[in-house]
Structure 1
């Protein structure tokens, strides 16, 4: 699985302002930025970004996923500490 394929799965399912994905062959790190994420609980944020990847995880193409979510305001403030990847 390629990074672009993961990005496409997430972008097809969610309207994000920014998406950053790093994939090293089994571990996937995702940074998702969108204002609607600020309205969700911490667990719901994770579930929302995880959901488009569920099938490829089930198939074993991805073994581990780390997800960080930000609103656009939070991302502007914190991106220097979290930037990709």
Structure 2
């Protein structure tokens, strides 16, 4: 798979999120930013992403996935362009 394929799958299966995908073959790093993560535990956030990719994981098309989930506020805080001192 290619990063753009993973991104298309996630965008089609989880509404209201922005995805940044890196990697190749069957190993990818997924960064997901969305209001859907507000109030969710870290485990629930990861489960949401895994569930969206369950078919590809089961088939072996995706093997290793590193997931980072952030709310829009957390993303703004983590962004190198933020005004943090």
Secondary structure class of the residue paired with 1:15: coil
CA RMSD of aligned residues (A): 1.2
User: TM-score of the superposition, structure 1-length normalised?
Assistant: 0.85
Unaligned segments of structure 1, at least 5 residues? 81-85
Q: 1:83 corresponds to which residue?
A: none
User: TM-score of the superposition, structure 2-length normalised?
Assistant: 0.85
Alignment of 1:1-85 (within 5 A): 1-80=1-80
Unaligned segments of structure 2, at least 5 residues? 81-85
How far the C-alpha of 1:23 sits from its partner, in A, is 2.1
Runs of 4+ in 1 over 6 A off after TM superposition: none
Give the number of aligned pairs.
80
Q: Which has the higher helix share?
A: 1
Between 1 and 2, higher relative CO (CA 8 Å, sep ≥ 6) is seen in 1
Inter-partner Cα distance in structure 2 for 1:79 and 1:49: 21
Larger radius of gyration: 2
